Amino acid sequence: MTVSIDSAPIAAALAKAYDRLTTSRFADALWSRRLDVWSPDAAVQKLIGNRLGWLTAMDAVSPHVGRLRACAEAVARDGITDVVLLGMGGSSLAPEVLRSIVGVAPGFPRFHVLDSVDPDAVRAALARAATSVFVLASKSGGTIEPNVMAAEAEHRLRAAGIADVGSRFIAITDEGTALHARATEQGYRETFVNPGDIGGRYSVLSFFGMVPAALMGIDLDKLLASAREMAAACRAEDPTVNPGLALGAAMGAAARIGRDKLTLRMPEQLWPFGLWVEQLVAESTGKQGEGVVPIAGDDPSVPPGDDRLVVSVTTDGDLLSLGAEFFRWEVATAAAGFLLDINPFDEPNVQTAKDATRVLLETYAAQRRLPTPEPHAAMNGSRLTLSDAAQQALGTASPLSFLQTLKPGDYFALLAYLPSEHADYAPVLRGACTAVSSRHQCASMLGYGPRYLHSTGQLHKGGPNTGVFVIVTAPAAEDLPIPGAPFSFGVLELAQALGDFTSLDRLGRRALHLALPTRDVAVLESLLAQLVS
């Protein structure tokens, strides 16, 4: 694969970025884990020191390739028809990239990634539970989404007469987590304990990416070999020849001069790779009012404005060179964080939406209802609610004029709590994003909830206040209870949407919640058309 950067508009800023990387000897500091390059603060140094394991993740995985291959072959041999990964963010996006781009090898079970609590999405992913193996992936072991997905998977296995449900689960987690303990107690088919010094979004070349890759029948030796070649190239001190530092220098330099919309141009075949880049870049750099805004999959017919950095990614036909690209972008993101003077390995604002969601769920458990703010307008059963910042920006104008709040340098984010795999919704949502970009000459992104909460959500809340957000919710025709929980999948999904809207509101972000009464595509299309017009 090849990465090319349109660096002409940022030439002067790029030269300064190269000089800073050279003067600080950043490549040496990164590889030797010289923590003072990041911050003089001992506490920050300690945090970063416990997040650099990704640099040698390939070395940690390689001794286990035989075990990974044996595990995958046993699953294929045992009559399993489907493998379903239950995860969020760093635990799910890399497997989705590998599934979508490289694909499942002949003779191996179908592979699905469930990174949603939407009732329709859960039903679809667990439709063949009786002949499925479930990969429960969670670094912390306590993330709510994969845990409730696993509860439903266990329920379906028992309903199908599977007595030993543990034999249908594979765990990927850190040492000593609740998931690690549960996997041991319940006799999971396999448990892969990942090095604890690897953060979720940097974990693609660790067990979190390689266990799913093995289960797809992907050649791990070639995938890891390409990553090692890139790692060797990324040791170069000269940032102009170091492929990771060159990309990171462009990202950081562009953001410093207002070109903070990192726009990926790539063939449709590679679009899933953009999902992974979105999470890595947004969650790593979007904090302290700074941030690189990754724009993946937007319509290339809309000319990029002067707030963009355009990066083209193409393939030479060797899809296993994805291993190299994973590593290049990890180094680049770390370098961009350094140039922006932020810690690229923490996610300080992700917890705010989680906390807001927890409060809402506690209220629901006590009152059997979710508290929702009064809407500012209602149309054909749909409720339109504005954040305080949006109200102030609009004045007395209708909520349908919400997009008038877009200013030069802003970006638009459409955040839909709908099944991402549903063929009817995607073109409507994508079309709305393209229409907004064309009409307002701005960058736009499409995110599906709750997946984006573990990806671009950090940037939305911690990055620059240049985002304009539309959150769309619509109840599934049939809800789905969560075994052992006082709330359903539908309630959890809505609570997460409301929790994120509340967090955006408290942080002074411009946001609009469109609450549709049903999942009627025509209603969705009509409402979005009125909003965009």
pLDDT digits (tens, 9 = 90+) for 437-478: 999 999 999 999 999 999 999 999 999 999 999 999 999 999
Q: What is the pLDDT of residue 126?
A: 98
What is the structure's pLDDT at 303?
86
Q: Where in the chain is CATH 3.40.50.10490?
A: 2-38+229-339, 57-223, 350-532
pLDDT at 300: 86
- pLDDT at residue 388 greater than cutoff 90: yes
- What confidence tier does 201 reach under pLDDT thresholds 50, 70, 90? very high
Section 62-75 average pLDDT: 98
CATH topology of domain 2-38+229-339: Rossmann fold (3.40.50)
Tokens of 61: 């995985």
What pLDDT score was predicted for residue 172?
Answer: 98
Whole-number Å distance between alpha carbons of 359 and 495: 9
Q: Is it the case that residue 287 has pLDDT exceeding 90?
A: yes
Give CA–CA dist 342/199, Å, rounded: 16
Average pLDDT over residues 20-45: 97
Neighbours of 334 (CB within 10 A): 28
Top-confidence residue, 89 or 301:
89
Question: Distance between CA atoms of 285 and 270, rounded to whole angstroms?
Answer: 23
Q: Which superfamily does CATH assign the domain made up of 350-532 to?
A: Glucose-6-phosphate isomerase like protein; domain 1 (3.40.50.10490)
Judge whether residue 166 has pLDDT over 90. yes
| Mean pLDDT calculated for residue range 498-504 | 97
Q: What is the pLDDT of residue 397?
A: 95
Compute the average pLDDT of residues 311-329. Answer: 95
Calculate helix-pair angle for 271-285, 322-339, nearest 10 degrees: 30
- The distance in angstroms from the start CA to the end CA of the chain is 39
Token representation of residue 72: 């995958």
- What is the DSSP pairing of strand 510-515 with strand 382-386? antiparallel
- Nearest partner of 339 among 293, 290, 294, 289, judged by Cα: 290
pLDDT > 90 in the chain, percent: 95
Q: Give, for 273, the enclosing helix (H) or strand (E).
A: helix 271-285
Architecture of domain 57-223: 3-Layer(aba) Sandwich (3.40)
Q: Is the pLDDT of residue 123 over 80?
A: yes
The pLDDT value given to residue 423 = 79
**Which residues partner with 511 through β-bridges?**
469
Q: Give the pLDDT of residue 297.
A: 82
Calculate mean pLDDT across residues 78-94: 96
pLDDT value at 410 more than 90: yes
Residue 301 has pLDDT above 90, yes or no: no
> What is the rounded average pLDDT of the residues 415-422?
90
133: pLDDT strictly greater than 90: yes
**Given this model, what pLDDT does residue 299 score?**
84
Strands (E), 231-314: 261-265, 293-296, 308-314
Summarised one tens digit per residue, pLDDT across range 240-272 is 999 999 999 999 999 999 999 999 999 999 999
pLDDT (0 to 100) of residue 317: 87
pLDDT band, residue 59 (cuts 50/70/90): very high
* Residue 501 confidence (pLDDT): 97
